[in-house]
Structures are given as structure tokens and as C-alpha cells.
């Protein structure tokens, strides 16, 4: 059977403003990105029938993720400062799982694998993603845009997490999911819809 591996936009350096395609030279900014890149390289070196699917900003009704964090913070705050200069495509975990299943079936049917990008659309900043979460959940939280420099974290994060997903759509016929539909489904599952 084919071997499928999920990787991340964090293997890239986040420079520029254009979406990054599969031929963009990797340049991880932190240990997480470096370890994911090492995984990609190990899979490629091992050979066989493999595919690596890079994605970004995954969210669901389960586990730790941005949507659940924003809902938790909305319980005790009426205003938040959220970075607005990191841009990417939020990806519903359910859509990522469905894409991987379809990809695996097509690869079992003889389609070659390789390196691909798959992320939600349209691209958005973390601040605008937060606003959409609060609007759809009916939470009255004011979001103030701040630059990444005003929100220091132990690990450096890419500013540009936009992924060019055209190759994946052409090769596997799977379009980028609209993250807003995925967000509506997650909020419904959490009982947090407005």
C-alpha cells in the first residue's frame, strides 16, 4: 500500500508574499519545522510508493488548535490582540483526512505519489480567522490586529504560510476546501454555533 505522510508549511521560511509551491527551497525557522523536514527527507530516501502532503493551520473540534483556543478565551475575555501579519490557509482536519483517503486510493490504483501541498482557502490572517470564529459562534469579542513582533513566542513562525495547491488539484482532482464551511461544521459539533 502507499505510504502517506502529513507535513507542514513550517518546513518553509515564510518569506515573500506569494504562495509557495512544492519546488520552493525549504528553510525551517524552528525545531518543529526542521524535524518535519527531516521526516520528509527520510521518507524520500527510503523510497517505495510514498507521498508527503504539506498542510497548514489544521483545526477540528478535537485536540488543541486555534479554533478551540479562541472559543476558550472568549469565555473570559471581551477583547483579544491577534497577529495580523502571518497569513495562511486554515485547513479543516476532516477535509485533510478525506483528501488523504482519496489520495491513498488513487495511489493504490497506480497514480504516482510525491510531494504535494493541500490547505484551506481563502488565505487569511490569524486576526481575521479569529474574527470569523467569533462572528460564527456569536461571541462578542473585539480583535485588535498586532504584528508578530508584539507577540513573542519561543519558536519563530513563518509570516507567509500560503501554500500553492494547484499541483495536488491537477494530479488528484481534489480542490482546496473552503475553511469557512469547515469552521461551521466544527462549531456545530462543539455546540458553539450562533
- Give catalytic residue positions: 32
The Cα-based distances of 75 to 40, 71, 78 in angstroms read 39, 7, 8
Return the closest-CA partner of residue 103 out of 53, 60, 55.
Answer: 53
Which residue in this structure is represented by grid cell 515573500? 16
Beta-bridge mates of residue 143: 80
The rounded distance, in Å, linking the Cα atoms of 181 and 178 is 6
The alpha carbons of the chain give a radius of gyration, in whole angstroms, of 17
Residues 10 and 39 sit within 8 Å (Cβ to Cβ): no
Amino acid at each position: 500500500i502507499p505510504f502517506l505522510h502529513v507535513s507542514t508549511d513550517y518546513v518553509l521560511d515564510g518569506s515573500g508574499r506569494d504562495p509557495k509551491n512544492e519546488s520552493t527551497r525549504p528553510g525551517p525557522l524552528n525545531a518543529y519545522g526542521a524535524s518535519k523536514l527531516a521526516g520528509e527527507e527520510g521518507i524520500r530516501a527510503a523510497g517505495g510508493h510514498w507521498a508527503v502532503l504539506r498542510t497548514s493551520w489544521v483545526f477540528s473540534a478535537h485536540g488543541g488548535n486555534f479554533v478551540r483556543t479562541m472559543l476558550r478565551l472568549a469565555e473570559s475575555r471581551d477583547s483579544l490582540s491577534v497577529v495580523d501579519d502571518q497569513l495562511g490557509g486554515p485547513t479543516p482536519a476532516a477535509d485533510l483526512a478525506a483528501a488523504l483517503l482519496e489520495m491513498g486510493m488513487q495511489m493504490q490504483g497506480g497514480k504516482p505519489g510525491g510531494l504535494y501541498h493541500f490547505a484551506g482557502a481563502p488565505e487569511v490572517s490569524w486576526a481575521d480567522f479569529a474574527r470569523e470564529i467569533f462572528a460564527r459562534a456569536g461571541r462578542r469579542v473585539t480583535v485588535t490586529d498586532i504584528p508578530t513582533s508584539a507577540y513573542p513566542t519561543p519558536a519563530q513562525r513563518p509570516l507567509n504560510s500560503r501554500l500553492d495547491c494547484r499541483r495536488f488539484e491537477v494530479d488528484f482532482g481534489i480542490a482546496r476546501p473552503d475553511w469557512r464551511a469547515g469552521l461551521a461544521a466544527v462549531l456545530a459539533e462543539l455546540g458553539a454555533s450562533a
